[in-house]
Amino acid sequence: MNDTLIVALSALLLAGLAVTLVIRTLLAERSAGTGSQRGPTFVPPALVRRLDIAAVVLAVLAVTTCILRVVLGTTGISP
Amino acid sequence: MTTATVPGPAAASAPRRRERVNRPGSPALAVLSLALWLFGLHPIAPGQMDSVGLIDQLSLILLVAYPILLAAVVIELAAQRPRQRLIAAYTALGVLFVYGLQPASEQIARISVAWLHAGFARYIADHGQALGSYDGRFSWPGFFSLGAFVSRAGGQADLTSLLQWAPVVLAGLATLGMRALAVAVLGADRRAWIATWLFLLTEWTEQDYFSPQATTYVLMLGGLALTVQYLVRPGPGMLLSPRPRGRAVPLNTPRDRLVAQAAVLLIALGLAPSHQLTPFMFAGALLVMLLTGWLWAAWLPWVVLIPALAWFCLGARDFWQGQLKLVIGDVGRIGSSVDQGLSQRFVGDAGRTFILDVRVGLTCVVALLAAGGWWWLRSRGIRSWALPLLAVAPFGLIALQSYGGEVFLRCFLFALPFAAILASLPLDDLLATTRPGMRAGALALVVVLLTGLGLATVTARGGNDAYTSLSRADLAAVQFAYRHAAPGQTIGGLTGDLPLGYARIGEVRPISFEGTCHELTGMDSCILDRASTFLVVTPSQENAGRIYYGYPAGWTGRLVRQLIASGKYQLVYTQDDSLVLADVTAGAGVSGNAP
């Protein structure tokens, strides 16, 4: 597989992960609000949970793609 | 916002009346200690030192300054209302005493790697990018790029003028980071100062020279302090309490938490291209906080880890194409890591072995004090695993890496902040002793303990100075070689203890015969076979051979005579005991100051 393609794919997945995490964190913190000494246990909204799952998928794909580059690069398969 | 459930120092629960007793003693003692330290300082050249290094050369007057300063610190800390500004000033003095001793007494910056790092920064400043396929460290160019930016912004050709005092600045910043972390964990009371001082007095690893690891360590401490202050639930101080139940929101606003997370992300993005180990250790610490239930921001360990992994795969290609075995070859080989990190390091003469014993002893004392802190927690019914795990987790690195034989040193460095926090707990009890007849003894015990730790650290840090410190004559000899070396030629040293590599990276190749020609018998023919265009010989190298490899005194002199007798080398420069030989057969045309 072309090295440039792997790098581009990794960059795309990492950018997607970054955007997902930013949105997820903004939403989660807004819904959590200000903490209090005896505040209720926080239950993340459904959208945050879905974004969490999306982020996990993107993170796994991004890391796998990155590792793939090292594997292909060190075995000499990649140009 | 502080909600620590652990009782604070005994002094805090005492009646809040204005203290009537004046404490003029502590500032006077601190001023006296500074005067003695300055008066006792004197220049020390590498040639003067023996195998125990710096400690042997220090004057008694200077050594007396340490217990006096620590007495001032303990008197102030034990007071009913410690004066924060004074303790902060004493801490600055402590940084000077421990980390400023070598810069103040030695002629030029020590540790040859610091000079090479200045050379890397200079290369980036001159060429706008790192040099590919040259050195694995160039694969993490963040720190060197920062150095290049600083030198260009300051109108300097290079950063060699900053090398000498860099340890004071970087260790001072690390101490500041430690104080911030200790305050976040323990609250802004006496225990946080004790933890800071324990860190300051036991950081013997000497990783605070001009290097990526020193800078990233400071960043990591800042990131940890931010995390514990704003992102541990339900609030700071909670690492000392039982594990929180449910998923309580930290006691701050969403804005506070978002800013803290953004700052940690920024730190992670700075760490990833700057050092190969620190971001992984930072992520590991955050993972421990997550697994033990304290970390609010569950994504934070991954936010630190993923950029580091991404940089390794995408940005450090030069490194993993040639040296991937260094990373994965040691995985699971604990025996090999222990062997390289301990057994193989115990080489050299009696003096060097003594220094290694001091380092091991210091590490054991810190571990014992930290274990005392854990016992302190458990004796108060606090079954918290967070702090003990944070102090122990860095040693997991042994299962993954030998780190070139430095694995225990790195583990200790990363474990130290949390070990110091644990260790501060029982010591605080000692300082809080109020029983008549016992108080003076308790305070004296703390002074003796801290003095012992501080002087042991001074001994350990200066233990290799007979060969890691350098003189102006050494630098002048190397500068002479650089002035006369043509592109493609080499400048070599018998050992690596030379200020080499600070200039002309990629053009003139610095080499060391330490790894290739280390058998004294036949060393001359080995060097002649692998000829270096210029060969720089210094007293530091003489000391290294004598102390580390057991060569007889005067071995460099005999070797120089053999090399000159071969007709291949000619003496072209000499200043004090440092000299330069030039390979006349390689066309090293020079006109030096040799007789």
Give residue-wise pLDDT tens across range B271-290. 999 999 999 999 999 999 99
- Closest listed residue to residue B397, CA positions, set B387, B412, B386: B412
Q: Which residues of A touch B246 (CB under 8 A)?
A: 41
Q: Sort residue B226 into left (φ over 0), alpha (ψ -120 to 50) or beta.
A: alpha
The residue among B245, B251, B306 with the most chain A CBs within 10 A of its CB, best to mutate, is B306
Rounded to a whole number of angstroms, the CA Rg of chain B reads 26
Q: With CB atoms and an 8 Å threshold, state whether B251 touches A35.
A: yes
More confident: B594 or B300? B300
Interchain contact A23–B (C-beta under 8 A): no
B163 phi and psi angles, rounded to 5 deg? -65, -40
Percentage of residues in chain B having pLDDT higher than 90: 68
- What is the per-residue DSSP string for B107-173? SS---HHHHHHHHHHHHHHHHSSPPTTS-GGGGS-HHHHHHHHHHHHTT-S-SHHHHTTHHHHHHHH
Say how far apart CA B90 and CA B194 lie, in whole Å: 12
| A37: nearest CB among B247, B251, B309 | B251
What pLDDT score does B523 carry?
87
More confident: B308 or B432? B308
Q: With CB atoms and an 8 Å threshold, state whether B310 touches A62.
A: yes
Interchain contact A66–B (C-beta under 8 A): yes
Neighbours of B381 (CB within 10 A): 7
* pLDDT confidence band for B16 (50 / 70 / 90): very low
More confident: B4 or B92? B92
Quote the minimal CA–CA distance from A70 to chain B in Å: 6
H or E element at residue B410? helix B407-431
Q: Which residues of B touch A17 (CB under 8 A)?
A: 306
Which residue type sits at B498? L
Q: Which residues of B touch A48 (CB under 8 A)?
A: none
Q: With CB atoms and an 8 Å threshold, state whether A17 touches B261.
A: no
Q: Give mean pLDDT, residues B192-198.
A: 96
CA distances from B21 to B11, B17, B28, B331, B433 (A): 15, 11, 16, 60, 18
Question: In sequence order, what are the beta bridge partners of B537?
Answer: B579
What pLDDT score does B534 carry?
95
Paired tokens of B260 = 């803290």
Q: Give mean pLDDT, residues B201-228.
A: 96
Residue B342 above 90 pLDDT?
no
Q: Which residues of A touch B303 (CB under 8 A)?
A: 21
- Closest listed residue to residue B101, CA positions, set B43, B141, B152, B51: B43
What pLDDT score does A38 carry?
61
In terms of C-beta density within 10 A (0-12 exposed, 13-18 middle, 19 or more buried), how is residue B13 classed? exposed
| B303: nearest CB among A21, A29, A74 | A21
What pLDDT score does A39 carry?
62
Which of A69-78, B81-90, B371-380 is the least confident region?
Answer: A69-78
* 3-state SS assignment for residue A23: helix
Interchain contact A58–B (C-beta under 8 A): no
| B246: nearest CB among A36, A41, A59 | A41
Residue A56 above 60 pLDDT?
yes
Q: With CB atoms and an 8 Å threshold, state whether B302 touches A33.
A: no
Query: Nearest-CA residue of chain B relative to A32?
Result: B249
B253 phi and psi angles, rounded to 5 deg? -90, 160
Interchain contact A11–B (C-beta under 8 A): yes
Q: Which residues of A touch B310 (CB under 8 A)?
A: 10, 14, 62, 66
Which of A68-77, B1-10, B278-287, B499-508 is the least confident region?
Answer: B1-10
What pLDDT score does B511 carry?
92
- Closest listed residue to residue A72, CA positions, set B371, B286, A64, B65: A64
Which residue type sits at A36? S
Neighbours of B258 (CB within 10 A): 18
Q: What ipTM describes this predicted complex?
A: 0.92
What pLDDT score does B517 carry?
86
pLDDT one-digit tens code per residue, B225-275:
999 999 987 666 666 666 666 677 888 899 999 999 999 999 999 999 999
Quote the minimal CA–CA distance from A31 to chain B in Å: 9
Query: Nearest-CA residue of chain A relative to B307?
Result: A14
Interchain contact B303–A (C-beta under 8 A): yes
* pLDDT confidence band for A78 (50 / 70 / 90): very low
* pLDDT confidence band for B3 (50 / 70 / 90): very low
Residue B9 above 50 pLDDT?
no
Helices (H), B329-349: 334-341
CA B489 to mean position of chain CA atoms: 33
Looking only at Cα atoms, what is the longest distance across chain B? 84
Q: Before B234, cis peptide (omega within 30)? A: yes
- In the 3-class helix/strand/coil scheme, how is B5-24 assigned residue by residue? CCCCCHHHHCCCCCCCCCCC
Paired tokens of B473 = 């004559």
H or E element at residue B491? strand B490-493
Percentage of residues in chain B having pLDDT higher than 70: 92
Q: Give mean pLDDT, residues B520-536.
A: 88
What pLDDT score does B2 carry?
37
Say how far apart CA B379 and CA B455 lie, in whole Å: 32
Say how far apart CA B522 and CA A42 lie, in whole Å: 73
More confident: B456 or B406? B456
pLDDT one-digit tens code per residue, B53-108:
999 999 999 999 999 999 999 999 998 888 999 999 999 999 999 999 999 999 99
Quote the minimal CA–CA distance from A17 to chain B in Å: 10
Question: In sequence order, what are the beta bridge partners of B535?
Answer: B492, B581
Which of A69-78, B75-84, B257-266, B571-580 is the least confident region?
Answer: A69-78
- Mean residue pLDDT across chain B: 89
Q: With CB atoms and an 8 Å threshold, state whether B299 touches A73.
A: no
Neighbours of B135 (CB within 10 A): 16
Size of interface A-B (CB pairs under 8 A): 77
Say how far apart CA B297 and CA B258 lie, in whole Å: 10
Interchain contact B134–A (C-beta under 8 A): no
Q: Which residues of B touch A73 (CB under 8 A)?
A: 317, 320-321
CA distances from A79 to A9, B261, B311, B319 (A): 16, 39, 20, 17
- What is the per-residue DSSP string for B22-57? --THHHHHHHHHHHHHHHH-----GGG-BTTBGGGG
Q: With CB atoms and an 8 Å threshold, state whether A7 touches B246.
A: no
Q: Which residues of A touch B251 (CB under 8 A)?
A: 35-37
Say how far apart CA B267 and CA B105 lie, in whole Å: 35
Q: pTM for the whole thing?
A: 0.92
pLDDT one-digit tens code per residue, B529-551:
888 899 999 999 999 999 988 99
H or E element at residue B581? strand B578-583
Q: Which residues of B touch A36 (CB under 8 A)?
A: 249, 251
Q: With CB atoms and an 8 Å threshold, state whether A25 touches B3.
A: no
